[in-house]
Structure 1
Amino acid sequence: MKQKEEIQQSTTLSKSASALDIKMDNANDYLRSRGKTLINVEQVEPKIQHHRIDGSDQIIENTNKLKDNENQIKTSTLDDSINREEIKGKDNIKLVDLDISFNIPKFKFICNGTLCNEDQAKMIADLNLKKAKRKHIIMELLETEKSYVNRMKECLDTFYIPLKKYMKEEDLKIAFNCLPNIYKINVKLIQELNERKNNTSDLGVMKVADILNSFFTLNEVEQYYGEYIITGDSAVTYPFEIHGEEIKTLLSKWVDECKIPSNYLIEPVQRFPRYILLLESLIKATPTFTNEYIELQKVNEHIKEITKRIDEKKNNYISHQKQNYYKSYLPHPINFGTFIYEGSYY
């Protein structure tokens, strides 16, 4: 009777081993489809004897080994699937698309809600947080750009167009600098951003690096913003009141409506540094193993180069202005005559 029970237990053990073989084969097939096999069946497969096993203790021991090895397969599959993205990011093996990096459900499916360790849970939480921050920054970029363009349009409609009737072209150039040109290029920028927004279901994964790169690599951006920032003081502090009575009447009307030209004309000077701050915040909220992160870094470096060149030109402009200002206060050099010959006359 005892011998019969041992044979039945041995048969059950063999069936369990066969079932485990199938599970391990399925696991390896899954991993091979991902391009890498991490589980070697021979390393975890127990040595099962298909003949009569003497003693029930040996049967129980081998059964426990089967359970441990099955758990080992599950854990290895889980760890490799979740850590694969981290490995790619650190070693720069392969950059992934932005929307793929935020595909959180695949992590939840692998973890099954219970098998996620502390590092893996932290990674998922970090991706969720970055996605939320990215959405907020993209919304801020869209809203502030829209407001900025609308303010420039209001400035041109309220001040520039009416003043064209009473001011010379060169005076308008000094008063408004190249604001009309800046308005034109920024209208194109907000149009492209809105078009991208309308074609994106989730702002958290909306790509903007290509749009910003196209904008800041335009020669007109450095030319117009550079000119405006360098000579911006002349526009902000322009004395409109020195002109005729018609302009003074317009100024009084604008003051009653709480519309001061200088409040509008200062905005391009403030907007350019704002682009840098928004871009740096967007970079921090973008996963480092994505193509979008690399492209945003390139845009950021390009803007820094533009800013550096504009600052150098502005410093030179200020130095030149100071020289011209103090030059009138310098005494005239004494005229000692014309040099003819070095040496004595005798």
Structure 2
Amino acid sequence: MLVVSLKNYITNKDTRTHVVVELYETEKSYVEALEILVKKYLHPLKSPENAALLDAFTVDEIFYQVPSILNVHQVFLEQLRRRLEQWDLQQKVGDVFLDVFTKPTVMDTYMSFINNLKKAKETIKLAASSRPAFARFLDAMARDHKGKLSLDNLLIKPVQKFPSYKLLIQRLIKHTGIY
């Protein structure tokens, strides 16, 4: 609803607003993907009824730092939403980025996730080959999401996120000089 009203506000000459709305929409999509990762994969695999699929240590190894990354982006999305509710042509979003992403814990969380990603993927591959029930769980989840939100596809999203921010910020600067 917020985005629809903002799209009505955008003129063809207002590339800056268009880019910020795109930022909001892509952030919302990213948060939804992380929520699927947590709610459809992590939580079910940690539940007592699925304890036979994987042990808790292995699940934690696969999803290392994912809940923390989700929390960061839920905060960022909410701050973007609030900013867009009060949007005008002089509004900026650079301070929102700085507020959320310059905290040392955020970078530490992302670096820990990235440093663990190869191990997580190897763990998934090994577990899927040695535990047929886990392989069936992964296949069922991939089918439920039409193959687009398989565990591998979801786990790579945090690695792709910051380069996409860079591109959006470059577009803001290119078209307006302010962000």
Which SS does the other structure have where 1:205 is aligned? coil
Alignment of 1:159 with 2:38, yes or no, is no
Counterparts of 1:84-123 in structure 2, within 5 Å, are: none
Q: CA deviation at 1:264?
A: 0.6
Q: CA deviation at 1:135?
A: 1.5
In the alignment, the residues of structure 2 paired with residue 156 and residue 275 of structure 1 have an alpha-carbon distance, to the nearest angstrom, of 23
Identity of aligned residues (%): 29
In the alignment, the residues of structure 1 paired with residue 156 and residue 106 of structure 2 have an alpha-carbon distance, to the nearest angstrom, of 17
Greater Rg, structure 1 or structure 2? 1
Q: CA deviation at 1:231?
A: 2.6
Q: CA deviation at 1:228?
A: 1.6
In the alignment, the residues of structure 1 paired with residue 93 and residue 80 of structure 2 have an alpha-carbon distance, to the nearest angstrom, of 8
Match of residue 150 from structure 1: 32
Which SS does the other structure have where 2:108 is aligned? helix
Alignment of 1:263 with 2:153, yes or no, is yes
Alignment of 1:205 with 2:87, yes or no, is no
The structure with the greater share of residues assigned to helix is: 2
Q: When the two structures are superposed, what TM-score results if normalisation uses the length of structure 1?
A: 0.42
In the alignment, the residues of structure 1 paired with residue 44 and residue 133 of structure 2 have an alpha-carbon distance, to the nearest angstrom, of 10
Which SS does the other structure have where 1:248 is aligned? helix
Match of residue 134 from structure 2: 247
Match of residue 69 from structure 1: none
CA RMSD of aligned residues (A): 2.2
In the alignment, the residues of structure 1 paired with residue 121 and residue 143 of structure 2 have an alpha-carbon distance, to the nearest angstrom, of 19
One-letter amino acid of the structure 2 residue matched with residue 192 of structure 1:
Q
Of residues 49, 61, 83 in structure 2, which corresponds to 1:196? 83
User: Does structure 1 conserve the Cα–Cα contact (< 8 Å) formed by 2:138 and 2:151?
Assistant: no
Alignment of 1:140 with 2:27, yes or no, is no
The C-alpha deviation readout for 1:23-76, integer Å capped at 9, x for no partner, is xxxxxxxxxxxxxxxxxxxxxxxxxxxxxxxxxxxxxxxxxxxxxxxxxxxxxx
Which SS does the other structure have where 1:160 is aligned? helix
Gap regions ≥5 residues in structure 2: 1-10
In the alignment, the residues of structure 2 paired with residue 152 and residue 255 of structure 1 have an alpha-carbon distance, to the nearest angstrom, of 15
Alignment of 1:222 with 2:107, yes or no, is yes
Which one has more relative contact order, counting CA pairs under 8 Å at least 6 apart?
Answer: 2
Counterparts of 1:1-346 in structure 2, within 5 Å, are: 132-165=14-47, 166=51, 167-200=54-87, 202=88, 204-237=89-122, 238-239=124-125, 240-242=127-129, 244-257=131-144, 258=147, 259-287=149-177, 293=178, 296=179
Q: When the two structures are superposed, what TM-score results if normalisation uses the length of structure 2?
A: 0.78
